[in-house]
């Protein structure tokens, strides 16, 4: 019979770390001094420091959202976290210039190899700062900007300041406020009008140090009629103590632009992953969030699209896999704010052992709008008897000129299904993997090829030890 996992699932690819000397260390705990230190190290303009200090106040004022979210949030101890760790060198343009320990980390994660094979640009962040950042020279000539947040705010304020913190205000939630106070790293991207990138840009976020908080800040602006696909991957080693990852990602798709944002996160089980992601879509623009959440202790992430221009389209495609000791609390937000806007949400979650997955969806369509459409499908698959799933849809639709459709399903891999597959000669674990892959197969196809292969492998690894 199928029983819960007794075995610690191995996701060893990311489970290693190098002892590293940091030239800049903001110390332990959060205070105004820590923020002044970060801002000084980064040689920021005064307006950025002001922005940070205001955000700290907001963070301190805001309560933990435990009135709706899990009590586990109370176990985050902000006083023992290190908020800024950096080697103090500018991002290198060649891997040769990257310090050995950092370079070895990314070599082991396969980043330089992927870059050679299929990427138009790469940024590799090690703890607080980017260690490597390079983009195809052709794109640079066309005016594409792909830099870290520090460089973006300093070198291109005329482009980035206009939108910085506008899609996700500091006060959106406690963790967006925290990020706004201590942010470091992340990507700032600008695609000029009409420029369509044939290959994706990629960022890789790596946590190396223990008790460290990673707070990257990403802002992507796709100007009129441009197209870009951005991919991010994340890993961290397994430490005894918990680690915090709290990013803010803002996307702006101007008239007719297309942004696809692909995430594959494979955090170790000690990471609190509390991320705010939101996009603004202008007239006829299209934003797709394609998201896969594997690992972490707790993930709270609800990518959203504000459909502000006529005929704008928003989409969230997400896969979440919750294993023993993990809670994937994910979902989507679709805010319709113009006529004929459409949104689509497809979410699939898998709960293994005592894992728990939750779906939270928010759809808003005010009554004065016409011709808006939303379709939401959320399906949950339970593997073991004590696996858990829950769904919290919040749909507000007014008026009679809009349409909304919501479908949800929960299914369980049954012992009879496994017996049937075993009777054809497949081992129990293989049968289980096939069921799970079958469940998410249509969504995996939405990921770029290079990621979908990796995803299938990760899912197979997660399934090992889930039976027996």
Partner 1 sequence: MNSLKIENLQASIEDKAILHGLSLEIPKGEVHAIMGPNGSGKSTLAKVLSGHPSYKVDGGSATLDEENILGLEPDEISRLGLFLAFQYPMEVPGVTIANFIRAARNARLPEGEKVKAVDFYKELYEHMDDLGMDRKFTARSLNDGFSGGEKKRCEILQMSMLSPKYCILDETDSGLDIDALRVVSEGVNRMRNPDRGILVITHYQRLLEYIVPDYVHVMSEGKIVRTGGKELALELEERGYDWIKQEAVA
> Which parts of this chain interact with partner 1 (CB under 8 A)?
1, 411, 414-417, 419-428, 430-431, 434-435, 437-442
Query: Rounded CA gap, 381 and 1, in Å?
Result: 17
For residue 372, give the nearest of 340, 420, 334, 329 by alpha carbon: 340
Minimum CB distance to partner 1 smaller for 166 or for 457: 457
> Which is nearer to partner 1, 28 or 415 (by Cβ)?
415
For partner 1, which is the closer residue by CB, 168 or 432? 432
Q: What is the dihedral of CA 434, 435, 440, 441, to 10 degrees?
A: 40
Angle formed by the axes of helices 449-463 and 111-118, nearest 10°: 150
Q: What is the bridge-based pairing of β-strands 24-25 and 85-86?
A: antiparallel
For 84, residues 6+ apart whose C-beta sits below 8 A from its C-beta are 24, 25, 26, 34, 37, 38, 41, 128, 182, 184
Nearest distance from C-beta of residue 414 to partner 1, angstroms: 8
Q: Is 214 helix (H, G, I), strand (E, B) or coil?
A: strand
In the bound state with partner 1, the residue whose beta carbon lies nearer, of 171 and 417, is 417
Residue 317 CB, nearest distance to partner 1 (Å)? 15
Q: How far is the CB of 434 from partner 1 (least distance, A)?
A: 5
Task: Look at residue 377 and give its three-state secondary structure.
Answer: strand
Question: Which is closer to partner 1, CB of 201 or CB of 435?
Answer: 435
Cα separation, 335 vs 396, whole angstroms: 10
79 versus 416: smaller Cβ distance to partner 1? 416
Q: How near is the Cβ of 306 to partner 1 at its closest, in Å?
A: 33
Q: Output 298 or 455, the one with its CB closest to partner 1.
A: 455
Terminal Cα distance for the chain, rounded: 7
Block residue for tokens 């991207």: 189
Q: For the CB of residue 6, give the shortest distance to partner 1 in the complex, in Å.
A: 18
Q: Measured between alpha carbons, how far is 334 from 394 in angstroms, rounded to an integer?
A: 10
Smallest gap from Cβ 370 to partner 1, in A, equals 37
CB of 439 to partner 1, least distance (A): 5
Whole-number Å distance between alpha carbons of 137 and 131: 19
């Amino acid at each position: 019979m199928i029983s819960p996992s007794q075995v610690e699932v191995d996701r060893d690819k990311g489970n290693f770390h190098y002892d590293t000397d940091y030239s800049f260390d903001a110390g332990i705990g959060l205070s105004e001094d820590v923020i002044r230190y970060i801002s000084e190290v980064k040689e920021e303009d005064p307006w950025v420091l002001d922005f940070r200090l205001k955000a700290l106040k907001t963070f301190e004022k805001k309560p933990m959202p435990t009135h709706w979210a899990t009590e586990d949030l109370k176990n985050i101890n902000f006083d023992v976290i290190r908020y800024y760790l950096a080697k103090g060198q500018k991002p290198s343009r060649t891997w040769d210039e990257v310090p050995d320990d950092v370079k070895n980390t990314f070599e082991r994660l396969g980043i330089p190899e992927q870059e050679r094979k299929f990427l138009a640009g790469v940024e590799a962040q090690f703890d607080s700062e980017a260690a490597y950042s390079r983009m195809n020279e052709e794109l640079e000539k066309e005016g594409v900007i792909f830099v870290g947040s520090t460089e973006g705010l300093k070198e291109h304020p005329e482009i980035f300041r206009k939108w910085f913190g506008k899609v996700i205000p500091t006060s959106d939630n406690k963790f967006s406020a925290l990020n706004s106070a201590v942010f470091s790293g992340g990507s700032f991207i600008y695609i000029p009008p009409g420029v369509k990138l044939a290959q994706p840009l990629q960022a890789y976020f790596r946590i190396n140090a223990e008790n460290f908080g990673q707070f990257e800040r990403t802002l992507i602006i796709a100007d009129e009629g441009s197209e870009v696909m951005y991919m991010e991957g994340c890993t961290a080693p397994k430490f005894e103590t918990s680690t915090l990852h709290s990013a803010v990602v803002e996307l702006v798709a101007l008239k007719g632009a297309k942004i696809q944002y692909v995430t594959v996160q494979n955090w170790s089980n000690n990471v609190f992953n509390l991320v705010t992601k939101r996009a603004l879509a202008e007239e006829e623009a299209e934003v797709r969030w394609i998201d896969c959440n594997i690992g972490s202790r707790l993930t709270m992430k609800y990518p959203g699209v504000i459909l502000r221009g006529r005929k704008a389209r928003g989409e969230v495609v997400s896969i979440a896999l919750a294993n023993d000791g993990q809670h994937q609390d994910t979902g989507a937000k679709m805010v319709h704010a113009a006529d004929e806007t459409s949104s689509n949400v497809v979410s699939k979650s898998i709960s293994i052992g005592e894992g728990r997955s939750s779906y939270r969806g928010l759809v808003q369509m005010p009554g004065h709008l016409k011709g808006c459409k939303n379709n939401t499908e959320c399906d949950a698959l339970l593997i073991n008897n004590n696996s858990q799933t829950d769904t919290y849809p919040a749909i507000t639709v007014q008026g009679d000129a809009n349409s909304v459709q919501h479908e949800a399903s929960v299914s369980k891999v049954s012992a009879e299904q496994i017996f049937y597959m075993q009777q054809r000669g497949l081992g129990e674990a293989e049968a289980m993997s096939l069921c799970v892959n079958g469940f998410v197969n249509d969504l995996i196809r939405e990921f770029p090829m290079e990621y979908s292969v990796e995803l299938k492998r990760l899912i197979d690894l997660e399934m090992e030890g889930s039976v027996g």
